[in-house]
Amino acid sequence: MGVEGGMKCVKFLVFFFNFIFWLCGIALIALGIYVQIELRKTLVTTSASASGAPIVILVVGIIVFFISFFGCCGAMKENYCMVTTFAVLLTLIFLLEIAAAIAGYVFKDKVRAVLETEIKEEMRVYGNDTDVTHILDDLQEKYNCCGAFNYTDWFDVPRFKSHLVPPSCCNAGMNCTNNPTPENVHNKGCVEKVELWMKKHIIIVAAVALGIAFFELLGIIFACCLMKGIRSGYEVM
């Protein structure tokens, strides 16, 4: 005989929250892929720190996806071992998310330094590497930016040392390559523009993470209640 009464309600709540986790897992996978693609369009990453965040989001999404499927099976079969395993794994994921949030807050000020390193590295090989050249041109045109912090950064690149800039630095309809001035080039640096883009999307990621964490906490509570109900004398179906 399966669980009855209040425990039956808890059983379906556990199943419901696992379905929510399953959807959240899909959302995290999609978000991780999207951020990774956007970063690849923006930066040719030369360090793990620059591409680590989307990979972490993607991995967590995959883990949540499979854990939620495991939890659904445990809830429907009223299997004490499966429900216990689900609760333990979900608790570990919850703690890891808290640790990741703390680490993200601690290292948030290093984002600018990472962006500066990446963009300056791209500028250094501009013209010698076709892929990097296209990516950096697209970046400067998309964000209306020039150089790391301003257009004069290009003067430190050997091939542009004669006070030249790439065509992608020019304002629409203007030719600034041989005579760049604040009037005919993009005045903002790409570090600032990309940093603003990342901060905007970090808010979205944080909101999604908070929502998932809330449902995870409820899922853990309901899973523990179901475990207690099964262990207290309810038979496994």
Sketch the domain layout of the chain as residue ranges. Answer: 5-108+202-231, 112-191
Considering the domain delimited by 112-191, tell me its CATH architecture.
Orthogonal Bundle (1.10)
Per-residue pLDDT band at 151 (split at 50, 70, 90): very high
| Distance separating alpha carbons of residues 65 and 21, to the nearest angstrom | 7
Residue 4 has pLDDT above 60, yes or no: no
| Distance separating alpha carbons of residues 174 and 182, to the nearest angstrom | 12
Max mean pLDDT range (26-35, 65-74, 142-151):
142-151
Residue 10 has pLDDT above 90, yes or no: no
| Distance separating alpha carbons of residues 149 and 194, to the nearest angstrom | 11
Q: What percent of the chain has pLDDT over 90?
A: 12
> Across residues 34-55, what is the average pLDDT?
59
Question: CA separation (Å) from 207 to 20, 37, 84, 101?
Answer: 16, 21, 28, 12
Residues 6+ apart with CB under 8 A from 85: 70, 74
> What pTM was estimated for this model as a whole?
0.59
| Distance separating alpha carbons of residues 16 and 80, to the nearest angstrom | 18
Specify whether the CB–CB gap between 119 and 149 falls below 8 A: no
Residue 236 Ramachandran class (φ > 0 left, ψ -120 to 50 alpha, else beta):
beta
